[in-house]
Structure 1
Amino acid sequence: MSSSDCHNRKRKLDDFAPADEDFSADSLHKMKKDQSFDSSSSSAVASETERGQPQQESGMFGGRLGFRHDLNVPEPLHFFVRMMSGGNTIVIHARSDDSVESVHRQIMRITGIPLMEQRLIYRGKQLQWEQKLADCAVQNDAGLQLVGRMRSTGYPKTWQVVNDLVSFICRLCKKESPSMARGVLSRVEQFIRMIPNDEDTGTGTGAAGTDSGHVHVFKSGGAPSALVMLFLSPIEGNKECATEAIEQFVNAKTYVLPQKKRIQCVSIVLEFCKLLSKTAPDDALYVMCRRTLASLLETIRTVHGSKYFRQAKPAFVIQEVFPFVRELANMLVNNLDLNVKPAACAKMDPSIVRDFVAFMGPMRNAIEEQVGGKEHIPICLLDDRPCYVGEIESLHVVYLELLVSVGECLEKVENILKTKRAKDIDACLLGSIQYLTMLKELNNISKLYEGAEEMLRTLMKSRQLALNALIRYSKRSDDHQWLLEYKDVTFFESRRHLIMMLFPDIKEDYEEMHEMLIDRADLLVESFRYITQAEPEALRSPLFMEFKHEEATGPGVLREWFYRLCQEIFNPENGLFISCPNDRRRFYPNPASRMNPEHLNYFGFCGRVIALALMHKVQVGIAFDRVFFSTLAGRDVCLDDVQDADPFLYMSCKKILEMDADFLDSDGLGLCFVTEIEEFGSKLLVELCPGGKDIALNSQNREEYVKLLINHRFMTSISEQITHFAQGFADILSRPTLHTFFFQSLDLEDLDKMLRGNGDGISVDDWKAHTDYNGYKETDCQISWFWKLVKKMSEEQKRALLVFWTSLKYLPVEGFRGLQSRLYIYKVTDCADRRLPTSHTCFFRLCLPACQSLSVMDKTLQIITQEHVTSSFGIW
């Protein structure tokens, strides 16, 4: 992105810059002006080589550092030559009119390597002895590579293959023998076969992230440089030969490499990428190499994790990877066409986004290592702080540029959403899902820098409409759970969409269903047996539910079972849960549940049932109290949390905290750090802390007293029950370790909506708007009578009719719009006045007789809305 581009984006940057942050397009322009983004530029840190010290190869990348290239070559020249053994790097001083031969002689004097054993490679080409340095365009601070035959080595066969390969290439470049092309390809294939399948064999390094001995020989022998030199050769056939040879490392379609061998070749592919990026950046071969390198880095991260990248020196990894990050970021920014037609969104190339994310993995890991575990890197570095490599500051500017671009893209999405044209919206959202992937990576980067997270949050807040629309289009495979950290910028529907992805995807595989046959008269005990004895994997399959002595099966019966079972589980008479005095549909575990010897197993069972109800999207009509919810989320319980669960305790503690200090200090209440509990009919005193019975309550310790009292009442006394509930809940999740994250990602009100559904009364107008007819027309008298009678029903009668029709007593929070399908009324004509309505709850279908009068229809509806009728499928 040019500096003028940055200047033109001033308004966009100001839109999401925090109020207390001195950050604008002008400051971004200044930062860019102060920093170099040339992929070949050196770090802001003086490396060992730049200080005149030998530079060692390090880590999985195993290449050489890039060095600064100035446009004007000063006199005299000094440049760097990396030794062919992969050892030290030496500094050479010369003049631009000196010959290459004179450089070889300097090398011989310094190292003792005979002239005939030396070959110098620069920018993928071998330098000829008779050439002058100026003719070869060798610049100040340039990096050259010395390659040659090694007479003493631990891999003589590998060296022989590599030397033959380089020799064949040199002969091809001199037009000596076109038949050498076959030799080039056969030597590459022979070398690949020599790489062991076990990456822990080789030079003895053994650690993940380092080259094997064979790969080290291939690079030290100058094979990558030679192959690129062949690729650039103007001689007919040479480019094709080099392409085919290089593709054996990078293109699985040409030569299928086992995964372990491909991982070992990552540093070879990196060499190809570095060489081609400087010599053929627009060629398809370079793009293929870069894409393969990104894929290998992603494979390494998946297989080995971030520890793989920690084997290399952080500064070295940063300098090797950043040029690709910079290049891909430029492509993402510059290729966006924000002036597309109104009905379309600016699109980011998914392959470029994927490659950018892959390169950012090792980049971020290396930065975290380099800065020594600092959570946020200050942008304006002070003299007394460590001098970070320049790429770390440069990445921050990349972050700002991409933040601006994504913000503009989201603005485009919002403009399309406001048109409310469904066709345009669907096409836009489906084509814009990559914005979420970019936001995810920007979120990762933001955790490195001071103030960056707040900038991202501000942007997301300013584009809430577009962001939440895209979230609802995301798929399970997209892995966007990170968005749950931003509860203040996501809507309930978005959080629900993301949190439901923590559950397994229910597949309608009837060969692997978990079958249950339950007696209504023994609902709780029989359900407990079926659920607790099942393996978690079996419960993640579809459930097949049938009540004994009843005909119906299918989803409608399953919904009925969930509702009835949860009413039993949370019935205070069963001793497992206590309802809150201020809201009888809100519950928390009963401290006295231990009177049932199996109470902990029942809490595990309860956790499974609630998780299953959520997974199957059934509203069961109950809710958790705040103390229960907070404990499941791993949070401490405070005084305000207990207001609904125990109003008396809440008021007592509040009075103690507000009471006159002198009165408390005079022991006016006569309290000490103990509490009274009831166990098996007896009352016991329990100390709130060691020696509590000897600690009198006073104005100095009253806050601690209230805290300990609440903790004992709502945490300590029910800790076992909550632990077993949480374990049962975790059994159903795709990843059991995420059960705490599940509750942390939601507000209590979110969980209320998912479990209780719509707490308001049933809207008959909404009901009618989501009902279709078969055999009837909306204008028929029977349909008019039907809705007239429904409007006159009490709330309980409406819910009874809803249960009869759908097996649901509580609607989703969106009302009838949130159901899986529309509702249907089917016409029944046979003996209409003598038949009662029937229903197919699985399909939300009500079969309504064509009654001849309003009074007859009224009688039939009165019958089917009675509790005993809606509690059985016997008339189905």
Structure 2
Amino acid sequence: MSSVSACRRRNSKRRRDAPDHALLPSSKQPLMSHAGADAGESSSSDSGSASGGDGASATAAAAAASSPPASPRELHFFVRATDSRTIAMHAGCDDTVGAVLDHLRACGYGRDLRLLYAGRQLAPEATLADIRLPPDSTLHLAARLRSTQHPHAWQLAAHIAATAAGAEADAASVPAAAFSLDELVKEFILSAHRANLGLSRHHDRGSAEDERAAAAGDHAAEHIDIFLQAGAALALVRLYVSKSPFRFYAERAIKCFVATEPTSLPMDVLVITAPVLLEFCRLLSLAAGKKESLYRSCRRTLASVLSTRPRLPPSMNSPTGLIEQVLPFARETMDVVLDGLRSLTMVVSSIDLDEFSNFFKVMCQQARHWISGEGPMPRNLYNRESEHGDTWISRFYNMAMDMLGKLDDCLKTFEMDLSLSSESIGVTEGQNIWAARSHILIMLTELDFISAIYEDVGHSLKLLLLSHRRPLNALVRCSKRNERLHWLVKHKNILCFEARRNLVFMMLPEGKDDFGELHEMLIDRSHLLDESFNYIAQAKHNELRGGLFMEFKNEEATGPGVLREWFCLVCQALFSPKQVLFSPCPEDKRRFYLNETSAVDPLHLKYFTFAGRIIGLALMHKVQVGVVLDRTLFLHLAGRSIKLEDISVADPVKYASCKRILEMDAAEIDNLYLTFSRGAHELGAERVIDLCPGGQDISVNIWNREHYIDLLIKNTFVDSISVQLNHFTQGFTDILVNSERRKEFFECLDLEDLDHLLGGSNDTINVQDWKSHTQYNGYKEKDKQITLFWKAVDRMSIEQKRQLLFFWTSVKYLPSEGFCGLSSKLYIYKTSDSLDRLPSSQTCFYRLCLPPYTSMKMMESKLQKIAEEHVSSSFGTW
């Protein structure tokens, strides 16, 4: 048999639509063929049978048995391919069917082929003389039968591969199907989807949902495997990188697997496309280059699909197998992002960042699975002397250390920028620049994930953060909401208050500006607490997370100022000792802890849930209500234990007694006749509570006194009020975006931080600071009325100043930064009202409407009047 090649030739005696393929016998002349589209005929061959498309029938078969070939040396016949092309061929009588198939495979018609004539499959070892074909007979080319339940998938995948190969090999006679390669691929994808649907319908109704989902994914995964085995992916890439004018159709076909939007692929197919995408990435990176846009699109989609926990083939189903294949692409995306961050503009696209994060998410998940979640792997697995030095373990570690080094350079550059200008200027110099710099935090976040795998990475990351405190704090202060930054809670001692505050605000809902999303309330001032309780305690927590819209009955005022006032008034009523829910600390009346005698109110548990929600909502709306929590309550919310030093403010008497016991000698303790029990008041009666089983029979001595004090504190500040604490905690947790973040919320803060956020500043109001943050409309700073106004304010008591500020802004306690911490400047507007009228305010806009009082006596009189509590809590004009 001669070697296989192809050339074009024309024979007027042959069918005009059938190009030539010549198979010459062993006379050293090559097998020759030529193919073209036959629009007038359609193939009836499939994976199981075929019939003669040119009219060959049983008659032709009988003739074949009795008629000799047209020439003792040469035969001419036609082959009808699966893509509807008719191929004219020449062959020698002693050529085998296998030789014909080899030639067709070489011409790009597929790898697994068979020839059929008159409805029967021809044996590859049979010669053409044995078959005894009549002149101009037609054979049918079909995909080889396979032991699979998806024959149509095999046929379609082979058709795609053959069509793409034909378009690449012969642009002059490109098959018609090449113009619709993308439609063929879409049909293949839909066939996989339909196979899943068919399998789901055949499942027993009693089977579990997860079993149905898993089984339904099997058929789609098998289709994807068929697509690869049939060589469809390879053929499409070869056509795309060829010089064929039809490469565009290959690009469209490949893009069928690129998910540009969530609905572009059926979800059951999308989650199992990773093997195809991986194959496209490999082939395109080698043949087209890493800068090719189609390659980058495939790589980006691969990262997205892998991050959704897809169903993977065996080659990718083990951590080692998946990481080995993904690691080169992850390295590419890391370099792209780092190069952008190290550039002068620090520009990194959000698309590149997402791709980077998706790849590293997958790699970290698989690596943690590989180490079985037992903590960082031993250093001897990835250090330079390790025998694993050339494995993914070492390469992934080296990537992380390279990332640390380049981020160190980025932070150094950023620190130099901060040094060249004040931080206040740097923070406001441009949102685009800050958005770019904030990408450094995303990279640091990925390193934190990797630190759970490599102990050295965690240690190096901490040193990096410590050496760059200033730029780190600037980044966290100005970063926008990002739940993935919660890992910084571990490094809260490196962060300043403003940075920690921004982190905890990320755990609270943002609320909605659209009134349709707000929880609306109409409150009667005379029933403030009861009606507020009904609106808040009865609401679903999702309704509250959208924000609040507040209005008092028979009052026109609405907006943020009204809401701020409502928060302050509700907290003032809720934490009043008259409600018996909370007790003020003896030495700090603004600080409260839970009252263990609250059970006198039958609704006390629901009110504790209400109180927890109010505190959470006040933090969410950034309202300083003037109420702060005692350390014992703060520690419980943070999930921490309470020690002796923690009760000094809530119960100074008990604290002093316990300290004295710790200082006594053995005889003094024995003379106290203490037991492991304590007395308590409950509904007017005195009762004894054991601190441990049989506590009344166990004496306190010098050896067990510390244990006694621990149990006493736990029983008093936790056990005796555990039900109330749980309801208060649940109410607060209802407001958080993620209830599992409650401990992180309080771990990120010190008690003093929470005091600033919730209670505001309790310092004396600085009138000079007040003046510097006030602007005028209708007045000028040196006008007589303005001069008189500030003199009158300066003479007020601290409480009068607070009431005046509250009347003006609905802010009674300033943020910790003072007036600069407010959302805007304050304004004094000149009015034409009669001098007999009191000033009015528009609290939403921080506006005080001041008539032009003519004397100091008049100014002081009017301001002191509105500084009275019952006046400062009512609104003027809107």
* TM-score in terms of structure 1 length: 0.77
The CA deviation at 1:783 is: 1.0
TM-superposed CA distance for 1:567, in Å, is 1.3
Match of 1:842 in 2: 844
Matched, 1:273 2:281: yes
Q: How far off its partner does 1:336 sit?
A: 4.8
Q: 1:637–1:711: 8 Å Cα contact kept in structure 2?
A: yes
Q: Does 1:319 align with 2:320?
A: no
Q: Which moved more, 1:216-225 or 1:480-489?
A: 480-489
Aligned to 1:5: none
Of 153, 158, 162 in structure 1, the residue corresponding to residue 153 of structure 2 is: 158
Match of residue 191 from structure 2: 194
1:525 aligned partner: 530
- Cα deviation digits, residues 746-770 of structure 1 (max 9, x gap): 2211110011111211011111011
One-letter amino acid of the counterpart of residue 153, structure 1: T
Residue 653 of structure 1 deviates from its aligned partner by 2.1
CA deviation profile, 1:389-435 (whole Å, cap 9, x unmatched): 82122111111111222222222223223313456454421332221
> In the alignment, is the contact (CA less than 8 A) between 2:196 and 2:219 conserved in 1?
no
1:824 is paired with a residue whose SS is strand
Does residue 172 in structure 1 map to residue 167 in structure 2? yes
Residue 770 and residue 612 in structure 1: after superposition, are their counterparts in 2 closer, same or farther (change >3 A)?
same
Q: Which residue of 1 aligns with 2:12?
A: none
Name the SS for the 2:521 alignment partner. strand
Higher relative contact order (CA 8 A, sep 6+): 1
* Deviation for aligned residue 1:271: 1.0
My pick for the range that moved more, 590-599 or 176-185, is 176-185
| Residue of structure 2 in register with 1:718 after alignment | 721
Unaligned runs of 5+ in 2: 1-97, 112-142, 201-211
Q: CA deviation at 1:845?
A: 0.9
Number of the residue aligned with 1:829: 832
The 5-angstrom pairing of residues 296-695 of structure 1 reads: 296-298=305-307, 300-301=308-309, 312-338=317-343, 340=344, 345-381=345-381, 390-418=391-419, 419-420=421-422, 421=425, 424=429, 426-476=431-481, 479-661=484-666, 664=669, 667-695=670-698
Cα distance in 1 between the residues matched to 2:764 and 2:315: 59
Answer yes or no: is the 8 Å Cα contact 1:248–1:255 preserved in 2: no
**Structure-1 separation of matches of 2:705 and 2:778:** 72
8 Å contact from structure 1 (residues 509, 542) kept in 2? no
2:807–2:874 CA contact under 8 A, matched in 1: no
1:669 CA displacement: 3.0
Residues in 1 aligned to 2:488 and 2:313: alpha-carbon distance in whole angstroms: 27
Match of 2:823, SS state, is coil
Residue 116 and residue 183 in structure 1: after superposition, are their counterparts in 2 closer, same or farther (change >3 A)? Answer: farther
Change (3 A) 1:779 1:470: same
Q: Secondary structure at the match of 1:678?
A: strand
- Corresponding position of 1:217: 226
Q: Distance in 1 between matches of 2:271 and 2:148?
A: 24
1:746-785 correspondence runs (5 A): 746-785=749-788
Alpha-carbon offset, residue 826 of structure 1: 0.8
After TM superposition, the structure 1 stretch with the greater mean CA deviation from structure 2, 241-250 or 306-315, is 306-315
Please tell me the residue identity of whatever aligns with 2:272: Q
Query: Cα gap change, 1:416/1:184 in structure 2, threshold over 3 Å: closer, same or farther?
Result: same
Q: Is the 8 A contact 2:512 2:518 kept in 1?
A: no
Name the SS for the 2:734 alignment partner.
Answer: helix
Report Cα offsets for 1:329-383 as digits up to 9, x if no partner.
Answer: 2333445544x3xxxx433343222211111122111111212222112333399
Encode CA deviations 1:271-301: one digit per residue, 9 max, x unaligned: 1112222232232221121112122223x24
The answer to whether the 8 Å contact 1:346/1:409 transfers is no
Partners of 1:633 and 1:740 within 8 A in 2 = yes
SS of the aligned residue for 1:852 comes to coil
Residue 696 of structure 1 is matched in structure 2 by 699
Partner deviation per Cα, 1:628-674 (whole Å, 9 max, x = no partner): 0111111111111111111222222223333335765xx34322211
Match of 1:802 among 792, 802, 805: 805
Separation in structure 1 between the aligned mates of residue 415 and residue 841 of structure 2, nearest angstrom: 43
Partner secondary structure for residue 544 of structure 1: strand
Amino acid at match of 1:248: C
Give me the whole-angstrom Cα distance separating, in 1, the residues matched to 2:254 and 2:853.
Answer: 81
The answer to whether the Cα contact below 8 Å between 1:758 and 1:813 also exists between their aligned partners in 2 is: yes
Q: In structure 1, how many angstroms separate the alpha carbons of the residues matched to 2:396 and 2:582?
A: 53
Alpha-carbon distance in structure 2 between the residues aligned to 1:254 and 1:612: 35
Change (3 A) 1:443 1:126: farther
- The question of whether the paired residues in 2 share the 8 Å contact of 1:826 and 1:847 is answered with yes
The code of the aligned residue for 2:500 comes to: R
Deviation for aligned residue 1:485: 3.3
1:227-242 matches, within 5 Å, as 227-234=236-243, 236-242=244-250
3-state SS of 1:732 partner: coil
C-alpha deviation, 1:513, in angstroms: 4.2
Structure 1 position 848, deviation (Å): 1.2
1:861 corresponds in structure 2 to: 863
Q: Which of 255, 261, 275 lines up with 1:247 in the alignment?
A: 255
Q: Which residue is 2:205 aligned to?
A: none
* Per-residue deviation, 1:173: 3.8
After superposition, the Cα gap between the structure-2 partners of 1:478 and 1:632, relative to the gap in structure 1 and judged at 3 Å, is closer
Structure 1 residue aligned with 2:119? none
1:738 — aligned with what?
741
Aligned-residue RMSD, C-alpha: 3.4
Question: Counterpart in 2 of 1:78?
Answer: none
Q: Is the 8 A contact 2:109 2:165 kept in 1?
A: no
CA distance in 2, matches of 1:604, 1:253: 42
May I ask how many residue pairs the two structures share in their alignment? Answer: 730
Shift in CA distance, 514/202, structure 1 to aligned 2, threshold 3 Å: closer
Deviation (angstroms), 1:453 = 2.0
Q: Is the 8 A contact 1:520 1:548 kept in 2?
A: yes
Is the contact between residue 842 and residue 876 of structure 2 (CA under 8 Å) also seen in structure 1? no
**Which amino acid is the alignment partner of residue 787 of structure 1?**
W
Comparing 698-707 with 866-875, which one deviates more in the overlay?
866-875
Query: What does residue 182 of structure 1 align with?
Result: 179
Distance 1:593 1:254 in 2: 53
- What amino acid is aligned across from residue 542 of structure 2 in structure 1? E
> How far apart are residue 255 of structure 1 and its match?
10
Query: What is the aligned-residue identity percentage?
Result: 43
Letter in 1 for 2:371: V
Equivalent position amino acid for 2:175 in 1: S
SS of equivalent to 1:754: helix
Which has the higher mean CA deviation after the structures are superposed, 157-166 or 421-430?
421-430
Q: CA deviation at 1:771?
A: 0.5
Alignment pair present for 1:727 and 2:730: yes
The 2-side partners of 1:680 and 1:388 are apart by 72
2:116 match: none
Partner-residue secondary structure (3-state), 2:295: helix
CA distance in 1, matches of 2:697, 2:390: 61
What secondary structure, in the 3-state scheme, does the structure 2 residue paired with 1:494 have? helix
Structure 2-normalised TM-score?
0.77
Distance 2:714 2:371 in 1: 40
Query: Is the partner of 1:295 in helix, strand or coil?
Result: helix
- The answer to which of 207-216 and 159-168 deviates more is 207-216
- Aligned-residue offset at 1:385: 10
Letter in 2 for 1:288: S
